[in-house]
């Protein structure tokens, strides 16, 4: 393997214009496979979810999954595509053991959805339109385990083992048109596109689109052409880039690698490349020495799909608010900046905050707890916010307790800690831990008097007008009440006692 | 004039993982040529008003509800496998040494 020399990113972009094409495969969340009634449940024992159809037995006949077609139409509509009035499946023939039929049932020149776009928003708020070439229906392949090689890779393996549970699970492949004009922001656009697509798929409810589970996978095709040129260069196809961060890194690496090759007078081979998570590099896969010869032909065992216009319009009318539109609406309602909204999105907190507000909290408090204390704890535990053992309703209750003056922020943090530790609902934690703010004015008054008496010097300063010094006395009272006092009320009492206007 | 060359037959054989001897390539090229010629005559007969047909019946939208049906047991699924290991289909080496 030759070590790839790279040129700096800035240098690459000074000379060349990147052109990208992104192919995303989404595994649908249907209960059954695309062409047979086998379950798609994850984690089943090997080869326990197969039947004559998905095993490619002679005489078996596929029948398409209605929800699979409906999901494809919904995705197409959400991507502003035209929906075919009539389209067919096609056999993509290839010789490889991950498909027992020796072909993948896909769509060729008649995709169910075509000619659309997705607007994606970059971190600074700039909106970039990514044109969609097509979205078509197909099926996933089986899972290979390579045995006998050093690292479980196919190279050097003595033989391979196949589990066909995944073979036949519905896939939608979404292909962009060449993305031009993104310039130095190309890697960022690639990442934002995949992120937006994932949000869209989730909002449609057609898949959980969890990239770490392989439910959404991305191929990054990239080429460079000299600035100002019209003709695209030769592209490389980096396969299976399976996280948002990796999509950005893979595009960036390929820009630098292509630029190095082209600048030194070399030529780019049209080849597939493998992405390496460890260092963000890509290495050569197989060279496409000849155009792949898939010998596509119409699938004779499946009849054409002809979505009626009435049905398409019905599905269009039922589309949810699109994620970017929803985010912008929420951003305005919550009064936060683009940047803050991006952080909220990245933290996976949008829906949690919405649910907390629906449970009665105000937007600022809901956002504060999810993005502050709870994000910090999720980070520490290395888990997702959504996986935290606290519900939006419980967070809303904590917000209410603070708003009503029963808790201050410090106590509220302890309540959250208690809920996360399984001590029960917020009110139970308050009860068990005895966490209520000292609201007994008598007890508080005594604590204030004691603090003034013990800090006569400070008290004098306050009397003479140095109101800022009150902080030290507030601290003393908070300490005396073990943090269970309402600091604002303590301050009021101190100033009142000392005859100073706050 | 339709036709299939010996090279095309060799290519198809490779895609199909069929090992054909030299005389077989000649033989099949000749036979396939006749078959393609026969099929091509259908195109001559069909006029502009006859669209290409991939399905003989005028059916569309035959779909199945998304309901789970019983699968085969792993034992049944693997019963026809030439070789198996760890409840999986065992296949020969896919890539040779580089």
Other Cβ atoms less than 10 A from the Cβ of A487: the count is 17
Q: Which of A2, A39, A47, A63 to mutate to test the interface with B (most CBs of B within 10 A)?
A: A47
Phi, psi of A145, deg, nearest 5? -120, 125
| Record: contact A305-B15, CB cut-off 8 A | no
Task: For A270-309, give the secondary structure using H, E and C.
Answer: CEEEEEECCCCEEEEEEECCCCCCCCCEECCCCCCECCCH
> How far is CA A193 from each of CA A273, A274, B49, rounded to the nearest angstrom?
21, 21, 45
Q: For each successive 10 residues of chain A (502 residues), what is the average pLDDT?
A: 76 96 98 98 96 96 98 98 97 91 95 97 89 98 88 81 97 98 96 96 96 94 95 94 94 96 92 91 72 85 96 97 92 92 89 95 94 92 88 94 86 92 92 77 82 88 86 87 81 85 66
Strand order in the sheet with A216-226: A82-83, A113-121, A127-139, A170-176, A16-27, A216-226, A236-241, A271-276, A281-287
Which has the higher per-residue pLDDT, A131 or B58? Answer: A131
The DSSP bridge partners found for residue A148 are: none
Would you call A320 an interface residue with chain B, using a CB distance cutoff of 8 Å? Answer: no
Domain span at residue B25?
1-46
> Would you say residue B84 lies in a domain?
no
| Record: contact A38-B57, CB cut-off 8 A | no
Mean pLDDT of B50-78: 93
> Would you say residue B93 lies in a domain?
no
- For residue A85, the chain B residues in CB contact (below 8 A) are none
> Would you say residue B12 lies in a domain?
yes
- For residue B68, the chain A residues in CB contact (below 8 A) are 31-32, 37-39
| Record: contact B62-A303, CB cut-off 8 A | yes
Would you call B13 an interface residue with chain A, using a CB distance cutoff of 8 Å? Answer: no
Q: What is the pLDDT, as a whole number, of residue A293? A: 84
- For residue A96, the chain B residues in CB contact (below 8 A) are 94
| Record: contact B60-A86, CB cut-off 8 A | yes
Distance from CA of A48 to the nearest CA of B (A): 5
* pTM of the predicted model as reported, rounded to 2 decimal places: 0.82
Domain with CATH 1.10.10 in chain A: 441-497
CATH of the domain at B38: 1.10.20.60
Task: For A119-135, give the secondary structure using H, E and C.
Answer: EEECCCCCEEEEEEEEE
Identify the three-state secondary structure at position A92: strand
Distance from CA of B27 to the nearest CA of A (A): 23
| Record: contact A303-B54, CB cut-off 8 A | no
Distance from CA of A320 to the nearest CA of B (A): 22
**ipTM, two decimals:** 0.89
> How far is CA B65 from each of CA A303, A394, A430, B71, rounded to the nearest angstrom?
16, 39, 50, 16
How many Å is the Cα radius of gyration of chain A?
Answer: 30
Which of the 8 DSSP states describes residue A427?
A: H
- For residue A304, the chain B residues in CB contact (below 8 A) are 55, 60-61
Which of the 8 DSSP states describes residue A201?
A: H
pLDDT in tens, A355-394: 999 999 999 999 999 999 999 999 898 888 988 999 999 9
- For residue A68, the chain B residues in CB contact (below 8 A) are 66
In chain B, the number of structural domains is 1
CATH topology of domain A441-497: Arc Repressor Mutant, subunit A (1.10.10)
Contact A223, A19 (CB under 8 A): yes
> Would you say residue B32 lies in a domain?
yes
Q: What is the pLDDT, as a whole number, of residue B44? A: 86
**Which are the contacts of B7, defined by CB distance < 8 A and separation ≥ 6?**
none
User: Which candidate, A81, A89, A179, A88, places its Cα nearest to that of A134?
Assistant: A81
Measured in whole angstroms, the distance separating CA A266 from the mean position of its chain's CA atoms is 38
Contact B64, A64 (CB under 8 A): yes
């Amino acid at each position: 393997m030759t070590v790839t020399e790279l040129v700096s990113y800035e240098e690459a972009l000074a000379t060349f214009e990147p052109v990208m094409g992104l192919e995303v495969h989404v595994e649908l969340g249907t209960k059954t496979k695309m062409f047979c009634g086998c379950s798609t449940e994850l984690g089943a024992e090997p080869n326990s979810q197969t039947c004559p159809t998905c095993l490619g037995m002679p005489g078996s006949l596929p029948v398409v999954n209605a929800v699979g077609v409906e999901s494809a139409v919904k995705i197409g509509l959400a991507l502003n595509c035209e929906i075919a009035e009539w389209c067919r499946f096609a056999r993509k023939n290839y010789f490889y053991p991950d498909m027992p039929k020796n072909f993948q049932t896909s769509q060729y020149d008649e995709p169910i959805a075509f000619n659309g776009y997705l607007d994606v928003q970059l971190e600074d708020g700039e909106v970039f339109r990514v044109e969609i070439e097509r979205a078509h229906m197909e099926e996933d392949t089986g899972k290979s385990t390579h045995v006998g090689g050093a690292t479980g890779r196919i190279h050097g393996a003595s033989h391979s083992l196949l589990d066909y549970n995944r073979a036949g699970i519905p896939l939608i492949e979404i292909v962009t048109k060449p993305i031009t004009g993104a310039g130095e922001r190309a890697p960022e656009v690639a990442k934002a596109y995949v992120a937006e697509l994932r949000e869209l798929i989730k909002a449609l409810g057609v898949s959980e689109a969890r990239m770490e589970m392989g439910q959404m996978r991305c191929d990054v095709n990239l080429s460079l052409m000299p600035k100002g040129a019209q003709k695209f260069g030769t592209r490389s196809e980096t396969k299976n880039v399976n996280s948002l961060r990796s999509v950005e890194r893979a595009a960036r690496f390929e820009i630098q690698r292509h630029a190095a090759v082209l600048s030194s007078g070399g030529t780019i081979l049209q080849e597939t490349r493998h992405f390496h998570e460890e260092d963000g590099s890509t290495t050569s896969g197989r060279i496409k020495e000849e155009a792949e010869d898939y010998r596509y032909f119409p699938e004779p065992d499946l009849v054409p799909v002809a979505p009626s216009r009435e049905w398409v319009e019905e599905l269009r009318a039922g589309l949810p608010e699109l994620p970017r539109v929803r985010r912008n609406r929420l951003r305005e309602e919550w009064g936060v900046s683009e940047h803050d909204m991006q952080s909220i999105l990245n933290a996976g907190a949008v829906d949690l905050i919405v649910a907390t507000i629906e449970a009665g909290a105000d937007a600022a408090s809901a956002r504060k707890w999810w993005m502050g204390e709870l994000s910090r704890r999720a980070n520490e535990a290395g888990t997702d916010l959504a996986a935290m053992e606290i519900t939006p309703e419980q967070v809303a209750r904590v917000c209410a307790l603070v708003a009503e003056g029963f808790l201050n922020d410090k106590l509220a943090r302890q309540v959250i800690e208690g809920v996360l530790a399984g001590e029960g609902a917020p009110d139970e934690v308050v009860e068990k831990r005895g966490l209520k703010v000292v609201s007994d004015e008598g007890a508080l008054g005594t604590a204030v008097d004691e603090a003034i008496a013990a800090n006569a010097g400070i008290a004098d300063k306050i009397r003479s007008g140095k109101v800022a010094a009150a902080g030290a006395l507030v601290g003393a009272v908070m300490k005396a009440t073990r943090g269970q006092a309402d600091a604002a009320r303590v301050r009021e009492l101190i100033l009142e006692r000392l005859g100073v206007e706050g | 004039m339709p036709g299939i060359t010996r090279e095309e037959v060799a290519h198809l054989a490779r895609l199909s993982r069929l090992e054909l001897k030299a005389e077989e390539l000649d033989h099949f090229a000749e036979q396939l040529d006749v078959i393609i010629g026969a099929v091509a005559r259908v195109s001559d007969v069909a006029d502009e008003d006859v669209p290409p047909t991939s399905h003989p019946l005028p059916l569309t939208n035959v779909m199945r509800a998304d309901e789970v049906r019983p699968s085969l047991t792993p034992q049944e699924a693997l019963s026809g496998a030439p070789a198996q290991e760890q409840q999986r289909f065992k296949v020969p080496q896919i890539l040779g040494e580089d």
